[in-house]
Structure 1
Amino acid sequence: MAAKDDLGARGEKLATEHLISAGFEILDRNWRCSQGELDIVARELDELVFVEVKTRSSVLFGHPFESITTTKLARLRRLAAAWCDDHPGLGSSVRIDAVAVIVPSRGDVEIEHLKRIS
Structure 2
Amino acid sequence: MDQQRTQERRALAVVGEDLAVATLEASGSVVIARNWRCRAGEVDVFAVDESADGPVLVVCEVKTRVGIDFGDPLEAITPQKLARMRAVTTAFLAQHGPRYARVRFDAIGIVITGDRPTRITHLAGVA
Return 5+ residue gaps in structure 2 as ranges: 1-5
Instruction: Please list every run of at least 4 consecutive aligned residues from structure 1 whose deviation after the TM superposition is greater than 3 angstroms.
Output: none
Q: Does 1:55 find its partner at 2:64? A: yes
Which structure carries more relative contact order (alpha carbon 8 Å, separation 6+)? Answer: 1
Backbone CA RMSD of aligned residues: 0.9
What TM-score results when the alignment is normalised by the length of structure 1? 0.96
Question: What is the CA distance between 1:12 and its match in structure 2?
Answer: 0.2
Partner residue in 2 for 1:19 = 24
Q: Does residue 1:29 correspond to 2:34, yes or no?
A: yes
Residues of 2 paired with 1:88 and 1:106: CA distance? Answer: 45
Return the match for 2:113 from 80, 84, 104.
Answer: 104
**Structure 2 counterpart of 1:87:** 96
Q: Which deviations, in whole Å up to 9, do the C-alpha atoms of 1:21-60 show, x marking residues without a partner?
A: 1110111111111111110000111210000000001111
Q: Using the alignment, how far apart are the partners of 1:3 and 1:41 within structure 2?
A: 24
Q: Which has the larger radius of gyration?
A: 2
2-structure distance, mates of 1:23, 1:5: 27
Q: Secondary structure at the match of 2:84?
A: helix
Q: Quick one: distance in 2 between partners of 1:89 and 1:35?
A: 19
Query: Would you say how many aligned residue pairs link Structure 1 and Structure 2?
Result: 118
What is the TM-score of this pair, normalised by structure 2? Answer: 0.89
* SS of the residue 2:12 aligns to: helix
Structure 1: unaligned runs, 5 residues or longer: none
